Structure 1
Amino acid sequence: MSSSDSRTATTTFFDRDAAKAADREAGRDALRQRRVLATVCMASATMPMVFTGAAVALGGIADDLVASPAALAWVTNAFMLAFGGFMLAAGALADRIGRRRVFRAGALLFLIASALLPVAQAMWAFNVLRGLQGLAGAAILSSGAALLAQEFDGPARTRAFSWLGTSFGIGLVLGPISAGFVSTAFGWRAIFVLVMATIAIALFIGAGAIRESRDGQASPFDWAGAALFTTALSVLTWAVLHASERGWSDAGVVIGLVISLMLFIVFARVEQRSPTPMLDLSLFRYRRFIGIQLLAAAPAYAFVVLLVMLPIRFAGIEGLSASLTGWLIAALSAPLLVLPLAAGRATRWCSPATLCGAGLLIAAAGLWWLSYAKGGVEAIPAMALIGIGISGPWGLMDGLAVSVVPPQRAGMAAGIFSTVRVAGEGVALAVVGSTLTALIAARLPVEMQAAAPLLATGRLGEATAVHAAMPSGALVMAYEQAFSQLAQGLALVTVMTAVVLLVLLRGAEVGGDH
């Protein structure tokens, strides 16, 4: 063999060796990315699990901790208030000090709060711990979405966020089913042991796989903006929640609404003048960005409120067991196990705006159908249709949210979007709860209208005991008529939202820019 042939053979050998090494490195990186995706998705799935699981077990919690209807409402409200109030701050903080650091800190706090909830001896302590769970959830979700935005690009990012949407569907399905089974077998306290195990497994999968990332050009954290926004949103949510208990004309509610408005105005001015704002208000100049925020709020009244209201109806009004209630609610959320992924793939042939708008119209049809359902079993097809419809937006909206800003600001984008989504859910729950109470009261004699809040929170036995002159059947009829009218109102709002979204999101692409 000539020296030239020898050099060629040697070069070919090293080229092949280098190619094999590159392939091995690419394979290891792909495995690492899958572990990151699994970690974020599994940790995020615990959020709907702990949200819906507690709703299924409200009766047991109320009995053991001697909770009033108002205190019982805060089992959900405390979680939602902290979850929504700290989402934007958590996203901005993740951009600055590190997404992995914030994600792990949130997971640790979530584990601590969940461990303490089963041993809480008073309702106020239980609700404080629920608030800490919400705070931890804000850190997990906002930093987790930013981690995915950093790891994946283009079509891979679309698929990753579709998996994130699917993980929420898994949590929504497993939450009521597992909570119903576990609480029936071991008591409601075991629910929180289950979510602890889930997030612990997620952290184990991600150990050593999650790389630290941050915005290298990020300025110092906007503490003034974070404090103003969190306080304003907290006061607003508190006022709306109390309006469901005291009425919108209550002096405290009115004062809370005025204070929150003033704080939001001050926040906007501070952010406009700040060289390093936590919230880039210039993003609201883009119609697609506004449309994405509307999309974030849409599932709140088309879907999420039902995750709390239907367990109350099935268990509290219809007297079904916690286990059966969990299985019935699974019909509502089961489509989210697979359809968000299908929505992500469907963007190859159909625009995200069309998919989101069509999905909301299908959900609206399901809500209208639900208004005529007379019992839990009869409601199954309507609930399934709602779940099918909401799966379209659910699988696309996270990817759309981070597509409007550069990847290095993904934490901010995820924080804004998640804040609107979770705050919208908290406000929607409060508004829908107060509306249902008012609709029930309108169907009761004046002297018995005090039973309306009890019925709205599923306390039929207490309402019957307090107002023995009115048979329980009449109280149930008042509830069912009010629920039917409420579902029809939600359907109409969902239709209007779909029409507006089709206009605002026209031309938007998942993974594109604004």
Structure 2
Amino acid sequence: MNDIPPRPPAHRNSVLAAVCLAALTLPLSFSAGAVATPSIGLDLGGSPESLTWITNAFMLAFGSLLMAAGALADRYGRRRVFLIGLALFVGFSLALGLAPSIWLIDILRAGQGVGAAAALAGGTAALAQEFDGHARTRAFGLLGTTFGVGLASGPLLTGALIEMVGWRAIFVVVGLFGLLALILGPPRMRETKDPDTGKLDCAGALSFTLTLTLFTVAMIELPSLGALGATALAAGFVLSLATFILIEMRAERPMLDLSLFRYPRFVGVQLLPVATCACFVVLLVIVPLRLIGIEQQGAVKAGLLMLGLSAPMLVVPIVATMLARHVSPGILSGIGLLIAAAGLVWLATIRMEDGAMIVLPMLVIGIGAGLPWGLMDGLSVCVVPVERAGMATGIFSTVRVAGEGVALAIVAPHWPA
């Protein structure tokens, strides 16, 4: 790693504030876009498949490019990648506020995901250079809490904006948040690189992106595909996945170091975002569609009900970080997932006529998911040397976002039309 002199606490805290502000926009964009989908469909029309791409185009671009963005951050500089990504995110967000059609929204959402990937990978890798030890755990715990704030405020903010201004205002507001981070970030964020990094693993990045794209498209379009189309997509997925693994095994400096999967702790950390996605993130999309699309709830009322699921993310990740000083993060994460599982079983028993009672099981799910949520970002950078922080955060963030995208794609055929 670069030999960098110690930094004053004020400078480090400024970097933390800039990265957290940027991170706030990412889950806000995700949850807000999901809640806004019914309103966008009513305004612009479009098939159910095209409407699902409002969320999935963002998640696919975001998830498939995170590892490549992490490698770029290590090679060309974490600050540079962070700022370029944030600028792209802001530009595409503002353009979404003017989009006249569903197909253009889908394309712009993919561009927004590209910027989000670079901003997250560069920002979290830069953060790993500023803090170490328990200070790093606290910093990444705060980052996880920031994601929770974005998820918690997204449904309510979206509902209010839809009813008062219209769905276009959502993307403009998200863009303005990103613009504020772009203005505040550069002054005290230093440039750091990995001096030992090799050239970018372009073949690995392309094959991974193709693999994830084929799988996501297959999941979304499966109901309309014939046997021949489904077979072709399945064969393409298997071939591209095998190609990706072969490329990474032979690369001198692979984008994804497959040898890390020999370590149970590393594998366990990667499973945490998959678990929280299955029990938490998917509900952020599915439940609003049920409340607004099926039960005909107002957007603001649906946003208020969604606080039962998302509000615990404002508090629980911070509590988890404090408890981690005395209790193993692994134990805390396991307890949280058990609590979330109990909440999911309870939620499955809630009927339409139960009304606001849906808040109670969602509250349990939110509390359970919040425990690992506040710990897994910090754990992700503890399993590799600090000079490979870009790769570590890239792998972890890719598993998180790709898991969300794949899970959303799997349940997409069951969304309300």
CA contact (8 A) 2:87 2:182 kept: no
**Pair 1:265 & 2:242 matched:** yes
Alpha-carbon distance, 1:77 to partner: 0.9
Residue in structure 2 matched with residue 68 of structure 1 by the alignment: 47
Q: How does 1:191-270 map to 2 (within 5 A)?
A: 191-243=170-222, 245-246=223-224, 250-270=227-247
Q: Does 1:426 align with 2:413?
A: no
1:281 and 2:240 equivalent?
no
Aligned-residue CA RMSD in angstroms? 1.5
Amino acid at match of 2:366: G
Deviation, structure 1 residue 257: 2.3
| Inter-partner Cα distance in structure 1 for 2:115 and 2:276 | 22
TM-score, structure 2 length as denominator?
Answer: 0.95
SS of structure 2 residue aligned to 1:194: helix
Structure 2 counterpart of 1:310, from 259, 284, 287: 287
Task: For residues 4-58 of structure 1, give each alpha carbon's deviation from its aligned partner in whole angstroms, at most 9, with x where no partner exists.
Answer: xxxxxxxxxxxxxxxxxxxxx98x7211111111111111111111111112122
Deviations 1:406-450 (A, max 9, x none): 11101101111111111111111122233xx3xxxxxxxxxxxxx
Q: Give the conservation status (yes or no) of the 8 Å contact 2:333–2:371.
A: yes
Structure-2 residue corresponding to 1:79: 58
Please say if residues 337 and 369 of structure 2, whose CA atoms lie closer than 8 Å, have aligned partners that are also in contact. yes
Aligned residue for 2:357, secondary structure, equals coil
Equivalent residues of 1:110, 1:136 under 8 A apart: yes
Offset at residue 254 of structure 1 (A): 2.8
Matched residue type, 2:369:
I
Contact 1:332 1:387 in 2 (8 A): yes
Match of 1:491 in 2: none
Residue 155 of structure 1: CA displacement?
0.4
Find the aligned partners of 1:254 and 1:350 in 2 and give their Cα distance. Answer: 48
The SS at the match of 2:193 is: coil
Structure 2: distance between partners of 1:417 and 1:63: 36
**Partners of 1:168 and 1:33 in 2: how far apart?**
20
CA displacement, residues 257-278 of structure 1 (integer Å, 9 cap, x when unaligned): 2212211211211221222222
Aligned residue for 1:378, secondary structure, equals helix
The alignment status of 1:378 with 2:357, answered yes or no, reads yes
Gaps of 5+ in 1: 1-24, 438-455, 460-514
Compared CA separation, residues 423 and 253, structure 1 to 2 (3 A): farther
The alpha-carbon deviation at position 292 of structure 1 amounts to 1.2
Question: Which aligned pairs between 1:410-489 and structure 2 lie closer than 5 A?
Answer: 410-434=389-413, 437=414, 456-457=415-416, 459=417
Is contact 1:239-1:254 (8 Å) kept? Answer: no
Q: Percent identity?
A: 50
Q: Residue 99 of structure 2 contacts residue 105 of structure 2 at CA under 8 Å; is this kept in 1?
A: yes
In structure 2, the partner of 1:101 is 80
CA contact (8 A) 1:117 1:192 kept: yes
CA displacement at 1:386 relative to structure 2: 0.4
Counterpart position of 1:18: none
Partner residue of 1:123 out of 79, 92, 102: 102
Shift in CA distance, 250/168, structure 1 to aligned 2, threshold 3 Å: farther
Task: Give the counterpart of 2:388 among 399, 402, 409.
Answer: 409
Compute the displacement of 1:295 (Å): 1.3
1:332 maps to 309
- CA deviations on 1:81-133 (whole Å, 9 max, x unpaired) are 11111111111111101111111111111111111112111211110000011
C-alpha displacement of 1:203: 2.2
1:125-204 superposed matches below 5 A: 125-204=104-183
Q: TM-score, normalised by structure 1?
A: 0.78
Q: Deviation digits for residues 121-165 of structure 1, max 9, x if unmatched? A: 121111000001111111111111111111100000000010011
Does the 8 A contact of 1:172 with 1:330 survive in 2?
Answer: no
Match of 1:34 in 2: 13
Conserved? CA contact 1:222–1:277, under 8 Å: yes
SS in structure 1 of the partner of residue 405 of structure 2: helix
Counterpart CA distance in 1 for 2:72 and 2:220 is 28
> Is the partner of 1:93 in helix, strand or coil?
helix
May I ask how many residue pairs the two structures share in their alignment?
411
1:404 is displaced (CA, Å) by 0.7
Q: Secondary structure at the match of 1:86?
A: helix
**How far apart, in 1, do the equivalents of 2:162 and 2:227 lie?**
37
Measure the CA separation in 2 of the matches of 1:360 and 1:301: 10
Alignment gaps of 5+ in structure 2: none
Bigger Rg, structure 1 or 2: 1
Cα distance in 2 for residues equivalent to 1:250 and 1:32: 58
Deviation at 1:75, TM superposition (A): 0.6
Tell me the residue number matched to 1:6. none
Q: Which of 352, 356, 361 is equivalent to 2:333?
A: 356
Report the 3-state secondary structure (helix = DSSP H, G, I; strand = E; otherwise coil) of the residue aligned with 2:236.
helix
Residue 270 of structure 2 aligns with which residue? 293
CA distance in 2, matches of 1:419, 1:253: 25
Provide the C-alpha distance between the structure 2 equivalents of 1:261 and 1:400, rounded to a whole number of angstroms.
31
- C-alpha contact 1:240 1:253 (8 A) present in aligned 2: no
Opposite residue 246 of structure 1, the aligned amino acid is S
Aligned equivalent of 1:56: 35
Structure 2 CA distance, aligned partners of 1:94 and 1:415? Answer: 9
